[in-house]
């Protein structure tokens, strides 16, 4: 069920729409690209996420009486209001599937349609894709740092609002998290959930032992007790072991785990592991939490921590160390006098110069290793023939060239919405998560590493590169303000 809310747009987008209507150019066809410039945390890649949520938004896009009433109060006139009364989204949308590793300066979403519609969805689109891609990327970093150990997302109480908590859990699962503590997200997206014991429950009783016995009697099959309320090694673990002996064993059950939420978790996990093993509970896991991220997790494992699950909260759901995903939305082609013409933005900041034209995005895979070689942007009417060698060249340092053969070329931008209707075979969240794991596995270790990752090649075809240079010269060649 899609929860209907007011359409998310900034007032400037309505102002532009008003200008398009008054100038009778609102039906002009335009093509916009979504791309990003930098990978969070200086990583080697990001993880595409948020597409399924975006599909829900765009295919249910209408304007409420409340929104129209406010626009009237703001001075928008009848022609503008009438356009939106019976609004029907009719653009075509192409996108890279969720879970795919993505790289800077390549189109991850393409929108084609009436310019008034294509520009009006900018904020909605970027808000949806930027946030979930950010969290999926952070989740994937954390999961990789855990080196095969389980990771649970537990950040709802620190998320930046209700929607961020729900969609953050979804994105974290795509990135590789095994479960969430967020009941609302679990309900909405059918996510695996965990339910660790709370400190407050322990504090309600005279002793930890009493709290543990009461709790275990209600949770035979998923027994997880928190042992750091008072003294982890002095009382918490010993009382947990005694409660396991007295409550679980007589009923034929085994404890699932203990949880540590404070202190030196590397040291405590080692000592707790020895205590549990000695008591006959070698199968009892150890879960830790407390402001974890990939750096802390890596350090703990290097130091020999005995941990089976990392419960990661605010530093995941807010991507605390790199909290912004800088996806942007730029026009690349526009209808002029009935013909589609390439469009470019040439900025004083060279990194902000856009790549014009309606484009395809290809990923080349080595046929022998299955590893990704490079991504290539081509003009829409170009194909890459895997039967022939292909020349890669750096679009900035053009003398850097490499000929590749024995590769498979795959188009990454696939049809999602046609004439406003979804045409995409939407995979389940579980399928997206598995796809993400498989696709990250196609990247070389040099690209995946955390520190100073190798810069993955995102190249332009020769035809596209020449067209971009032509447009740059056309736009700035006649400037009188050259310095």
> Three-state DSSP class for 436?
helix
- DSSP for 287-316, please give it: EE-SS--HHHHHHHHHTT---SEEEE-HHH
Calpha distance 380→102 (Å, rounded):
20
Backbone angles phi, psi at 442, to 5 degrees: -85, -5
> Three-state DSSP class for 57?
helix
Q: Which CATH superfamily is domain 11-120+326-476 in?
A: nicotinate phosphoribosyltransferase (3.20.140.10)
Mean pLDDT score, 150-159: 96
Mean pLDDT score, 92-111: 98
Segment (H or E) for 92: strand 92-95
**Structure confidence at residue 482 as a pLDDT band (50, 70, 90):** very low
Calpha distance 72→303 (Å, rounded):
64
Give me the percent of the chain exceeding a pLDDT of 90: 88
pLDDT at 483 over 50: no
Mean pLDDT score, 101-106: 98
Strand partners, 342: 333
Mean pLDDT score, 439-458: 96
Give me the percent of the chain exceeding a pLDDT of 70: 98
List pLDDT tens digits, range 394-435.
888 888 889 999 999 999 999 999 999 999 999 999 999 999
Tell which residue, 50, 67, 53, has the closest CA to residue 6: 67
Instruction: List, by residue range, all CATH 3.20.20.70 domains of the chain.
Output: 197-288
pLDDT of residue 442: 98
pLDDT of residue 4: 54
- Quick one: 427 exposed, middle or buried, by C-beta within 10 A (0-12, 13-18, 19+)? middle
pLDDT at 477 over 80: no
Instruction: List, by residue range, all CATH 3.20.140.10 domains of the chain.
Output: 11-120+326-476
Please say whether the dihedral angle defined by the alpha carbons of residues 187, 188, 190 and 196, taken in this order, is positive or negative: negative
pLDDT at 2 over 50: no
pLDDT of residue 5: 62
* CB distance 52 to 93 below 8 Å: no
Strand partners, 480: none
> In CATH, what number does 197-288 get?
3.20.20.70
pLDDT of residue 133: 98
| Average pLDDT score over the chain | 94
Q: What does pTM read for this prediction?
A: 0.95
Calpha distance 290→263 (Å, rounded):
9
List pLDDT tens digits, range 322-364.
999 999 999 999 999 999 999 999 988 888 899 999 999 999 9
């Amino acid at each position: 069920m899609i929860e209907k809310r007011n359409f998310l747009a900034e007032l400037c987008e309505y102002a532009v729409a008003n200008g398009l209507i008054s100038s009778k150019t609102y039906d002009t066809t335009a093509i916009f690209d979504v791309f990003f410039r930098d990978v969070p945390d200086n990583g080697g890649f990001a993880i595409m996420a948020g597409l399924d949520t975006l599909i829900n938004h765009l295919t249910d896009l209408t304007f409420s009486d409340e929104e129209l009433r406010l626009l009237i109060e703001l001075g928008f006139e009848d022609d503008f209001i009438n356009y939106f009364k019976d609004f029907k989204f009719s653009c075509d949308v192409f996108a890279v599937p969720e879970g795919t590793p993505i790289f800077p300066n390549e189109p991850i979403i393409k929108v084609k349609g009436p310019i008034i519609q294509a520009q009006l969805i900018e904020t909605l689109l970027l808000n949806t894709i930027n946030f979930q891609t950010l969290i999926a990327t952070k989740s994937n970093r954390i999961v990789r740092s855990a080196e095969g150990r389980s990771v649970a997302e537990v950040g709802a109480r620190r998320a930046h609002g209700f929607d961020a908590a729900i969609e953050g859990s979804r994105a974290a699962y795509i990135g590789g998290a095994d479960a969430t503590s967020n009941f609302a997200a679990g309900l909405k997206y059918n996510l695996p959930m965990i339910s660790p014991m709370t400190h407050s429950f322990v504090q309600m009783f005279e002793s930890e032992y009493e709290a543990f016995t009461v709790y275990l009697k209600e949770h035979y099959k998923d027994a997880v007790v928190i042992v750091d309320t008072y003294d982890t090694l002095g009382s918490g673990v010993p009382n947990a072991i005694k409660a396991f002996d007295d409550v679980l064993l007589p009923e034929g059950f085994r404890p699932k785990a203990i949880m540590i939420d404070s202190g030196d978790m590397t040291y405590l996990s080692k000592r707790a592991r020895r205590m549990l093993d000695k008591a006959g509970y070698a199968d009892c896991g150890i879960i830790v939490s407390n402001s974890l991220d990939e750096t802390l997790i890596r350090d703990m494992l290097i130091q020999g921590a005995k941990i089976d699950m990392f419960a990661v909260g605010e530093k995941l759901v807010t991507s605390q160390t790199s909290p912004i995903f800088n996806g942007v939305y730029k026009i690349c082609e526009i209808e002029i006098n009935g013909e589609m013409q390439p469009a470019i933005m040439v900025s004083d900041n060279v990194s902000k110069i856009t790549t014009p034209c309606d484009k395809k995005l290809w990923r080349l895979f080595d046929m022998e290793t299955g590893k990704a070689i490079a991504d290539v942007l081509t003009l829409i009417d170009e194909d890459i023939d895997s039967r022939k060698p292909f020349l890669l060249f750096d679009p900035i340092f053009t003398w850097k060239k490499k000929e590749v053969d024995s590769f498979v070329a795959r188009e990454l931008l696939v049809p999602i919405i046609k004439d406003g209707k979804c045409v995409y075979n939407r995979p389940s969240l579980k399928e997206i998560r598995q796809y993400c794991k498989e696709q990250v596995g196609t990247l070389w270790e040099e690209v995946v590493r955390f520190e100073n990752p190798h810069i993955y090649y995102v190249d332009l075809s020769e035809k596209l590169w020449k067209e971009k240079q032509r447009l740059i010269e056309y736009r700035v060649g006649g400037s009188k303000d050259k310095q």
